[in-house]
């Protein structure tokens, strides 16, 4: 027996979706670059199809309260509610132009990370970690394609 049946908790569903919204949600679920937006879009489609919060939570591997928050955000803000909010954090070490230049420098010595980091430090006057460099290169060459 499910918790909802025992506690008699009402379930939330997305009741109304236009064909256009449904198509865009499916497109988001399949192709959006942010995996969290893909999950949220899938959850909204599943909710509209009648899946319970518990079923959606199990499929998306999140807590049912999280699914409830996604549904609330969808109902209040629509597609904007599926996007991530701005997060605080440390400002980037390198500007976008400096990131491009660091990648360019790094690709001159692709097999020698210590030489890459040394060249970046010498040419740009900024010191970055091997992890930062790795992240920059990953971002630039995501799945063998340049990301935009």
Could you report how far apart the first and last alpha carbons of the chain are, in Å? 48
Report CA torsion sign: 42, 44, 45, 47.
positive
User: How many folded domains does the chain comprise?
Assistant: 2
Same domain, residue pair 11 and 73: yes
Same domain, residue pair 11 and 74: yes
Same domain, residue pair 78 and 100: no
Same domain, residue pair 12 and 56: yes
Range of the domain at 121: 96-144
pLDDT in tens, the chain (148 residues): 455 444 545 677 888 889 999 999 999 999 999 999 999 999 999 999 999 999 999 999 999 999 999 999 999 999 999 999 888 888 888 888 999 999 999 888 888 888 899 999 999 999 999 999 988 888 877 644 554 4
Entry pTM: 0.58
d(CA 43, CA 60): 8
Exposed e or buried b for every residue in 41-60, given b needs 16+ CB within 10 A? Answer: bbbbbbbbeebbbebbbeeb
Same domain, residue pair 58 and 105: no
In terms of residues, how long is the chain?
A: 148
Helix boundaries (H) for the chain? 3-7, 19-31, 35-48, 53-60, 64-77, 96-106, 113-124, 130-140
């Amino acid at each position: 027996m499910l918790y909802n049946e025992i506690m008699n908790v009402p379930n939330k569903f997305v009741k109304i979706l236009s064909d256009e919204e449904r198509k865009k949600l499916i497109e988001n679920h399949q192709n959006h670059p942010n995996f969290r937006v893909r999950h949220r879009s899938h959850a909204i489609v599943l909710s509209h199809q009648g899946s319970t919060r518990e079923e959606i939570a199990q499929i998306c591997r999140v807590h049912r309260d999280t699914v409830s928050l996604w549904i609330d955000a969808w109902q209040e803000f629509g597609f904007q509610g599926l996007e991530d909010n701005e997060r605080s954090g440390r400002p980037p070490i390198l500007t976008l132009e400096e990131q491009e230049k660091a990648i360019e420098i790094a690709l001159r010595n692709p097999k020698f990370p210590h030489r890459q980091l040394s060249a970046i430090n010498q040419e740009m006057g900024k010191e970055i970690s091997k992890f930062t460099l790795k992240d920059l290169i990953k971002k630039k060459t995501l799945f063998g394609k340049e990301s935009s």
